[in-house]
């Protein structure tokens, strides 16, 4: 029953990814950035994926720095990014004593930085530049691990719509670390106050005008 429930969660994630990619392609994905407590969103994503991790024998480790600033985030979009990255780390973890570490800190630029690290087989250097392309999947893993090649493409679109950046570091045989940044709410609100728009609503292709301020 646990495995069936985990499979159902995986199918739901697949459908959501397909729907959101369609929205991005048609410029209809709108993100409404509210002031959010980042640790709460991280905790929710990890809690929802804990069953899937257990069925695969993977331990999820969380390291969230205290007193993180609130972020300007679309809760559903940010949650989806976290779920995509954590789910990938679970799927690609290998060997015994498998662990995935999720960290959240304030980086040197004052942004909230979240990383998801696995200790799996890693990714070939030649593949890294193509990872965030739509439908891209490495020929070395696509026959062994299920997926659509949409999760990272979607995650990149959502993170960039939030004003952040996403990246990956990996070495074959040592695992991979995916990371992304979120802008603190106070900084985002100040940028909007000094700009041409007085809202904090964004689409996958940039700021959307004529929306009220969501908090």
Give the β-pairing of 166-171 and 201-203: unpaired
Percent of the chain at pLDDT > 90 equals 40
In whole angstroms, give the CA distance from residue 78 to residue 32: 11
Residue 40 CA to chain centroid, in angstroms?
15
How many H-runs (helices) and E-runs (strands) does the chain carry? 5, 10
Name the one residue in this structure whose structure tokens are 């498998």. Answer: 98
Where does the chain show beta strands of DSSP type E?
30-32, 34-36, 58-64, 71-73, 98-106, 112-118, 166-171, 175-182, 201-203, 206-207
> What are 132-177's pLDDT values in tens digits?
886 555 545 444 554 456 789 889 988 998 999 999 999 888 899 9
pLDDT at residue number 161: 86
The pLDDT of 25-45, averaged and rounded, is 84
Going 135 to 203 to 115 to 110, the CA torsion angle's sign is positive
Ordered structural domains, the chain, with CATH: 2-200 (3.30.565.10)
Q: Is 207 a residue whose pLDDT tops 60?
A: no
206 strand-pairing partners: 203
Q: Is 208 a residue whose pLDDT tops 60?
A: no
The pLDDT of 91-120, averaged and rounded, is 90
pLDDT at residue number 35: 92
Confidence class of residue 7 from pLDDT cuts 50, 70 and 90?
low
Closest of 18, 38, 34 to residue 26, by C-alpha: 18
Q: Is 41 a residue whose pLDDT tops 90?
A: yes
Q: Is 183 a residue whose pLDDT tops 60?
A: yes
The pLDDT of 36-65, averaged and rounded, is 93
Closest of 81, 36, 26, 86 to residue 62, by C-alpha: 86
Q: Is 210 a residue whose pLDDT tops 50?
A: no
Q: Tokens representing 57?
A: 């024998």
In whole angstroms, give the CA distance from residue 5 to residue 9: 6
Label each residue of 101-154 as H, E or C.
Answer: EEEEEECCCCCEEEEEEECCCCCCHHHHHHCCCCCCCCCCCCCCCCCCCCHHHH
Q: Is 129 a residue whose pLDDT tops 60?
A: yes
In the DSSP assignment, the letter for residue 184 is: B
pLDDT at residue number 198: 44
> What are 73-92's pLDDT values in tens digits?
988 889 989 999 999 999 88
Q: CA angle at residue 75 from 74 to 79, to 5 degrees?
A: 115
């Amino acid at each position: 029953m646990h495995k069936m429930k985990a499979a159902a969660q995986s199918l739901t994630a697949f459908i959501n990814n397909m729907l959101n990619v369609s929205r991005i392609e048609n410029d209809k994905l709108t993100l409404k950035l509210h002031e959010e407590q980042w640790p709460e969103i991280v905790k929710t994503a990890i809690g929802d994926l804990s069953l899937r991790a257990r069925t695969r024998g993977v331990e999820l480790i969380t390291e969230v720095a205290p007193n993180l600033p609130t972020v300007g985030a679309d809760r559903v979009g940010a949650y989806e990014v976290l779920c995509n990255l954590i789910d990938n780390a679970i799927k690609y973890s290998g060997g015994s004593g498998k662990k995935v570490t999720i960290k959240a800190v304030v980086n040197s630029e004052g942004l909230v930085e979240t990383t998801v690290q696995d200790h799996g087989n890693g990714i070939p250097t030649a593949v890294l530049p193509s990872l965030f392309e739509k439908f891209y999947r490495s020929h070395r893993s696509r026959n062994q691990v299920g997926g659509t090649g949409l999760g990272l493409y979607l995650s990149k679109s959502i993170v960039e719509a939030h004003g952040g950046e996403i990246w990956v570091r990996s070495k074959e045989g040592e695992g991979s670390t995916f990371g992304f940044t979120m802008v603190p709410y106070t900084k985002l609100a100040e940028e909007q106050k000094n700009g041409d728009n007085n809202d904090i609503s964004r689409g996958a292709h940039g700021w959307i005008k004529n929306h009220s301020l969501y908090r």
